[in-house]
């Protein structure tokens, strides 16, 4: 593993997303001038961060190592990258609920849970990137001054019922690619976060359905204002994605989680409390949500 110190600047970049509607930030191939990405200034630093590898027409381009400017109308330089690698942000995401919306009773085939769309504020901090080869092995880690972004969006909140944090985290990791497979484009548009304990004040008295507090999954639309991914992840989509996840969990690839199941390349988190993954627990949770536990008797 190579450790590379990234470009250092004196102050972290703080983005607010208030610039939406202005000229886009263009990521440009330095050799030819070809525009390989047009990005909203509010999100550009989260996509075209220093060292990011971006795909364009089947070829890989790497953003320069110096901290670029992400102002409206600015240009970010990138160069053709010969190696078959991809980059993943090292980041933390904090979600606060602005308006909880209605969390309705919901069944995905099994136990009744609660789910609904909530207006949220998403605060994302990117502190570096990991480079992976096409076989999933780690090629290197780059660190840089934190890039922070804060924006309003929507999240689908699912109160999944009693489970452990490692089981919930394992399912969240697995659900990400499964949801992306069901929702076209969801890989970039949906982020999945977990909460060990979600409490909605003054809502405990609502009758019927599943619990109104406890462990929760957040399916967060990562576009400013929401691009519709959280809304699109309805019961039908969730059921389909969970069935895909269940099929993977039924495979006997490993005992405690590997890169083919719950230890996906997106699974790195800064928060050590979320580093433990419980593959067996995720299987139990998925079976309960889909009602497979009852079918088995």
Check binding of 5 to Zn ion (CB under 5 A).
no
Q: Which is nearer to Zn ion, 31 or 254 (CB)?
A: 254
Helix 279-290 with 235-250: angle, nearest 10 deg: 140
Q: Which is nearer to Zn ion, 5 or 254 (CB)?
A: 254
Q: How far is the CB of 269 from Zn ion (least distance, A)?
A: 18
Check binding of 261 to Zn ion (CB under 5 A).
yes
Check binding of 253 to Zn ion (CB under 5 A).
yes
Q: Looking at 117-125, 126-134, 186-194, 247-255, which segment touches Zn ion (CB under 5 A)?
A: 247-255
Q: Which two tokens stand for residue 212?
A: 């109104």
Helices marked H in 32-78? 44-47
Among 5, 235, 254, 275, binds Zn ion (CB under 5 A): 254
Q: How far is the CB of 51 from Zn ion (least distance, A)?
A: 29
- Pair 132, 143: CB distance under 8 Å: no
Pairing mode of beta strands 53-56, 13-15 = unpaired
Q: Which is nearer to Zn ion, 38 or 260 (CB)?
A: 260
Q: Which is nearer to Zn ion, 39 or 285 (CB)?
A: 285
How far is C-alpha 37 from the chain's CA centre? 20
Check binding of 31 to Zn ion (CB under 5 A).
no
Q: How far is the CB of 170 from Zn ion (least distance, A)?
A: 10
- 24: Cβ–Cβ under 8 A, 6 or more apart, which residues? 38, 39, 40, 41, 44, 72, 73
Q: How far is the CB of 258 from Zn ion (least distance, A)?
A: 3
Provide the sign of the torsion angle of the four alpha carbons 22, 50, 259, 193, taken in this order.
negative
Q: Which is nearer to Zn ion, 247 or 258 (CB)?
A: 258
Distances (CA, A) of 82 to 49, 61, 111, 211: 19, 8, 49, 51
Size of the site for Zn ion (CB under 5 A): 5
Provide the sign of the torsion angle of the four alpha carbons 253, 254, 257, 259, taken in this order.
negative
Provide the sign of the torsion angle of the four alpha carbons 252, 253, 259, 260, taken in this order.
negative
Q: How far is the CB of 85 from Zn ion (least distance, A)?
A: 23
Site for Zn ion, residues 181 to 220, rule: CB under 5 A: none
Check binding of 55 to Zn ion (CB under 5 A).
no
Distances (CA, A) of 61 to 26, 32, 87, 150: 13, 12, 11, 27
Q: How far is the CB of 263 from Zn ion (least distance, A)?
A: 7
Q: Looking at 47-55, 162-170, 251-259, 283-291, which segment touches Zn ion (CB under 5 A)?
A: 251-259
Helix 279-290 with 165-182: angle, nearest 10 deg: 60
Q: Which is nearer to Zn ion, 27 or 277 (CB)?
A: 277
Check binding of 258 to Zn ion (CB under 5 A).
yes
Q: How far is the CB of 259 from Zn ion (least distance, A)?
A: 7
- In the complex, the residues that contact Zn ion under the rule CB under 5 A are 253-254, 258, 260-261
């Amino acid at each position: 593993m190579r450790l590379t110190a990234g470009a250092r600047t004196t102050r972290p970049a703080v983005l607010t997303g208030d610039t939406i509607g202005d000229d886009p930030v263009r990521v440009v191939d330095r050799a030819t001038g070809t525009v390989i990405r047009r990005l909203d200034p509010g999100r550009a630093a989260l996509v075209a961060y220093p060292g990011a590898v971006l795909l364009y027409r089947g070829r890989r381009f790497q953003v320069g190592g110096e901290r670029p400017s992400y102002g409206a109308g600015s240009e970010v330089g990138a160069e053709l990258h010969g190696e078959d690698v991809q980059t993943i942000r090292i980041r933390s995401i904090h979600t606060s609920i602005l308006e909880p919306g209605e969390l309705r009773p919901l069944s995905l085939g099994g136990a009744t849970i609660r789910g609904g769309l909530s207006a949220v504020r998403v605060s994302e901090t990117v502190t570096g990137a990991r480079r992976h080869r096409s076989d999933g092995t780690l090629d290197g880690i780059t660190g840089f001054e934190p890039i922070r972004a804060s924006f309003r969006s929507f999240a689908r909140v699912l109160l999944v019922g009693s489970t452990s944090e490692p089981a919930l985290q394992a399912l969240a990791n697995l659900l990400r690619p499964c949801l992306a497979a069901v929702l076209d484009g969801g890989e970039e548009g949906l982020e999945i976060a977990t909460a060990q304990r979600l409490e909605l004040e003054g809502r405990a008295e609502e009758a019927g359905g599943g619990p109104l507090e406890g462990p929760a999954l957040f399916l967060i639309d990562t576009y400013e204002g929401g691009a519709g991914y959280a809304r699109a992840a309805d019961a039908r989509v969730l059921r389909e994605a969970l069935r895909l996840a269940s099929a993977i969990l039924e495979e006997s690839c490993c005992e405690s989680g590997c890169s083919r199941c719950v230890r996906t390349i997106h699974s790195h988190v800064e928060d050590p409390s979320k580093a433990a993954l419980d593959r067996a627990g995720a299987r139990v949770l998925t079976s309960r949500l889909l009602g497979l536990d009852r079918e088995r008797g």
